[in-house]
């Protein structure tokens, strides 16, 4: 019904209710009064009628969508009715010298009952009889707190969402068998499989925004037994403030199942080191490099230099950042290779960055086993070129993106990254530039990582290939890895190796199983094929070796290791030797050098 038709009809209905209320009120209290000839009653009813419509428009009573009526609308009705009754009382006091308190009070009660009833009856009728024809999926909501009840309420009153809330589960024993919006709390989280079977549940929504990643993983593993679709609600504040609708419920992602909460940033210290400064990122088109650029731009640097040798990847991140930040930040793409020493010197001299994040590297273990010279040129000589250029032009802070594979490396990639760490650790002893390294484990979703491969294999119908059923890795998200790199720059004193507390390592086979389930399949449908450990791979990764472990955290979830580089003369002798030896000799030399302990230990953490 249009607004032009609805308002006159509501005014007519309210007029009947107002007059009915006051006349019935008088009749109940004064049944023998000839109230048809009562001048006071006539004047009172007229004033009440006029004042009701005035206050109805004042409080927009005729503008409400009553099919969604709730407590707010009840408050509005109370205000309009109460003030109209008070107006009639004042008129009686002025005109007759006294007020018919009992009559007006009874009129108020009838007025409230009939006005409120007429509005809320429409909502009840709509909820009960005017339902969409299509069948909604029976849904179980995990959590009967603020998040769960918000989700339930929006699902009940949003016919565009194809979900019908049937039951809650909650671990709070005080809520058991209670009802919220007519939906019963049927048990605890451990009861989910039985409730799903008993009530024919087709969807589960995890609606506890305060959950830690470890708790999300526990709940997901229980829900996964049921083989129904599992979703998780967005942030509660986004739902309640209207930024996000419940229809924005998202699927549970692998990132939700890491079993730990992500690293948070020290915003103030990062702002001090980046805001208004020139920042250079090498490998800016890669997974980690591009995310570092996104995170940095949030702190409004003066300029950000996007350096990389891949034209298309640099073009993509350049276009993305220009669209969002181009008005306030100078975004400068530079196509260059870190192996080109002269070009690195030119870039540093031209732009004079205060902070350099060195993310350019070859990182794929089996490929680097087959191409050791390329790993050496990019990971060792490339790092040396950028670091020496940074020192030559007085860069304040240089952050090397390293890897857990640099710990006791049995492979070319890990050995080259450990030697890159040694280069900057030795430079840190003598330079005014603060050189630091950041180690982290595998990054979910980065190029060459297992997640994109698994997704591709699942999309093709399987099987998912895993090297060994017991192989484990530490995992983190791309934004989390980038935050760690940025935070390390603010904590740098020079020579440190920063390490993220990544919680417990995750079995690759478990990751594959979770991803299969999240994709809507069973392990039997897709299958997992074990292919054997590839050249250079380790069964278990480490973040620090036993000589580097320090329990103290310099920042929540960030540790500093005790670095042990070989002395500068031995290191540079070995680096120069790499230019001359064959591929066959190179792997052995790299691994021997990377695992060699220095004549002195460099204790950095203070």
**b/e 501-530 (16+ beta carbons within 10 angstroms → b):** ebbebbebbebbbbbbbbeebeeeebebee
Contact 330, 304 (CB under 8 A): yes
In degrees to the nearest 10, what's the CA dihedral of 237, 241, 244, 247?
A: 100
Q: Catalytic site residue 405?
A: yes
Half-sphere exposure of 96 (CA within 13 A, CB side): 16
Q: How many residues are there in the chain?
A: 606
Q: Which of 175, 377, 405, 557 is an active site residue?
A: 405
State the burial class of residue 136 (Cβ atoms within 10 Å of its Cβ: 0-12, 13-18, 19+): middle
Supply 498's token pair.
Answer: 């920063």
In angstroms, the CA 366 to CA 534 distance is 7
Supply 45's token pair.
Answer: 């009813």
In angstroms, the CA 606 to CA 591 distance is 30
In angstroms, the CA 298 to CA 362 distance is 28
State the burial class of residue 606 (Cβ atoms within 10 Å of its Cβ: 0-12, 13-18, 19+): exposed
Contact 333, 304 (CB under 8 A): no
Residues designated catalytic: 405
């Amino acid at each position: 019904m249009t607004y032009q038709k609805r308002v006159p009809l509501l005014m007519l209905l309210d007029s009947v209710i107002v007059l009915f209320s006051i006349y019935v009120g008088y009749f109940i209290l004064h049944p023998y009064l000839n109230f048809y000839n009562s001048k006071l009653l006539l004047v009172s009813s007229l004033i009440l009628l006029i004042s009701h419509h005035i206050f109805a428009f004042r409080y927009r009573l005729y503008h409400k969508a009553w099919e969604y009526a709730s407590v707010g609308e009840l408050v509005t009705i109370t205000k309009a009715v109460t003030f109209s009754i008070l107006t009639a009382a004042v008129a009686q006091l002025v005109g007759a010298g006294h007020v018919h308190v009992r009559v007006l009070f009874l009129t108020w009660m009838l007025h409230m009952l009939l006005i409120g009833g007429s509005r809320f009856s429409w909502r009840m009728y709509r909820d009960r009889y005017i339902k969409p024809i299509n069948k909604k999926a029976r849904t179980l909501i995990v959590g009967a707190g603020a998040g769960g009840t918000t989700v339930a309420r929006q699902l009940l009153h949003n016919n565009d969402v194809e979900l019908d809330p049937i039951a809650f589960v909650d671990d709070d024993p005080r809520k058991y068998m209670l009802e919220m919006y007519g939906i019963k709390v049927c048990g605890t989280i451990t009861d989910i499989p039985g409730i799903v079977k008993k009530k024919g549940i087709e969807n589960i929504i995890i609606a506890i925004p305060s959950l830690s990643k470890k708790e999300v993983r526990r709940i997901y593993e229980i829900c996964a037994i049921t083989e129904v679709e599992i979703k998780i609600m967005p942030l509660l504040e986004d739902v309640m403030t209207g930024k996000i609708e419940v229809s924005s419920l998202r699927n549970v992602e692998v990132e939700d199942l890491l079993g730990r909460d992500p690293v948070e940033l020290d915003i103030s210290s990062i702002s001090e080191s980046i805001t208004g400064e020139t920042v250079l990122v090498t490998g800016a088109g890669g997974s980690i490099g591009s995310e570092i650029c996104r995170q940095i731009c949030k702190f409004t640097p003066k300029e950000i230099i996007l350096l990389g040798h891949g034209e298309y990847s640099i073009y993509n991140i350049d276009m993305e950042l220009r669209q969002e930040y181009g008005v306030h930040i100078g975004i400068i793409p530079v196509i260059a290779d870190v192996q080109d020493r002269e070009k690195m010197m030119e870039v540093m001299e031209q732009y004079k960055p205060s902070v350099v994040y060195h993310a350019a590297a070859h990182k794929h273990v089996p490929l680097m086993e087959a191409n050791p010279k390329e790993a050496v040129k990019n990971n060792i000589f490339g790092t040396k070129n950028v670091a020496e250029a940074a020192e030559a032009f007085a860069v304040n802070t240089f952050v090397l993106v390293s890897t857990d594979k640099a710990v006791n490396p049995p492979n070319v990639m890990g050995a080259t990254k450990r030697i890159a760490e040694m280069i900057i650790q030795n430079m840190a002893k003598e330079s005014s530039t603060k050189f630091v390294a950041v180690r982290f484990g595998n990054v979910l979703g980065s190029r060459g990582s297992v997640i994109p491969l698994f997704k591709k294999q699942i999309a093709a119908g399987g099987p998912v290939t895993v090297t060994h059923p017991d192989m484990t890795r530490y995992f983190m998200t791309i934004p989390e890895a980038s935050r760690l790199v940025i935070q390390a720059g603010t904590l740098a004193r020079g020579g440190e190796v920063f390490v993220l507390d990544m919680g417990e390592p995750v079995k690759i086979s478990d990751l594959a199983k979770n991803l299969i389930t999240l994709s809507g399949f069973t392990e039997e449908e897709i299958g997992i094929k074990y292919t054997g450990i590839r050249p250079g791979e380790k069964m278990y990764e480490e973040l620090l070796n036993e000589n580097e472990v320090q329990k103290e955290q310099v920042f929540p979830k960030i540790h500093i290791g005790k670095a042990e580089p070989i002395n500068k003369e031995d290191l540079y002798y070995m680096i120069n030797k790499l230019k001359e030896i064959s591929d066959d000799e190179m792997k052995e030399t790299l691994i021997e050098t990377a695992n060699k302990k220095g004549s002195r230990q460099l204790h950095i953490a203070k």
